[in-house]
Chain A
Amino acid sequence: QQPVQSPQAVILREGEDAVINCSSSKALYSVHWYRQKHGEAPVFLMILLKGGEQKGHEKISASFNEKKQQSSLYLTASQLSYSGTYFCGTEVAGGSYIPTFGRGTSLIVHP
């Protein structure tokens, strides 16, 4: 079952912050985050394991709340290069450890 991402789309100005959420109805083992720019392949950003850890990549960080079965991606002081579609992929505890992806969140950063 696909995780649910929200919002579906975000429009920002450079320098503004954004949060993208990913929630699952199942107990999670880990959460992946990827960014896909238009016409390009999705690119791996980070993986979070259960344990509530927070990770960072440039000014992009994420948290994982295993009790709530959700993860959030935080984009701080957005840059034009952050534009793209963000996908979360969830691995279910006790499953095959193959990520199931959400429908994506489109992020547009304007100058």
Chain B
Amino acid sequence: DVKVTQSSRYLVKRTGEKVFLECVQDMDHENMFWYRQDPGLGLRLIYFSYDVKMKEKGDIPEGYSVSREKKERFSLILESASTNQTSMYLCASSSGQANSPLHFGNGTRLTVT
């Protein structure tokens, strides 16, 4: 079974702090994704990566950046956290082949105060 592990289940940070959310997958998947989940808005794509050091903006990249230095690890960075970034963040991976399903981590609930 594919395992996608997010380093923190809950995080509380202060406005203006730099925040790192870490995600690791163990299936040698090419693609990795960061989604944001808010009530009533569904899953919105922040960034994705299809290879090491490669990244593409998703639908809501503003205020975020990402890093993929190793194939198995994909980090989401909030350069200066703001209260409107309080949300559930979900990491996912897929094999990169057409029609491949996404495998999600359990999520990180981030609260910015």
Picked from A47, A98, A101, the residue with its CB within 8 Å of the CB of B42 is A101
Question: Which stretch in B11-19, B61-69, B76-84, B100-108 binds the other chain?
Answer: B100-108
Contact, CB under 8 Å: B90 / A98: no
Minimum distance in angstroms from B38 CB to a CB of chain A: 10
Q: Chain A residue with minimal CB distance to B101?
A: A44
Contact, CB under 8 Å: B99 / A42: no
**Cross-chain pair count, CB within 8 angstroms:** 51
Minimum distance in angstroms from B100 CB to a CB of chain A: 8
Q: Chain A residue with minimal CB distance to B100?
A: A47
Size band of the interface chain B makes with A: 20 to 34
Picked from A30, A34, A40, A100, the residue with its CB within 8 Å of the CB of B99 is A30
| Chain A residues within 8 Å of B44, by CB | 2, 101
Contact, CB under 8 Å: A100 / B101: no
| Chain B residues within 8 Å of A2, by CB | 42, 44
Contact, CB under 8 Å: A47 / B41: no
Most buried by A among B33, B40, B43, B104: B43
Q: Which residues from chain A sit less than 8 Å from chain B, CB to CB?
A: 2, 5, 30, 32, 34, 40-44, 47, 49, 87, 89, 96-104
Q: Which residues from chain B sit less than 8 Å from chain A, CB to CB?
A: 4, 31, 33, 35, 40-45, 48, 56, 58-59, 90, 98-99, 101-107
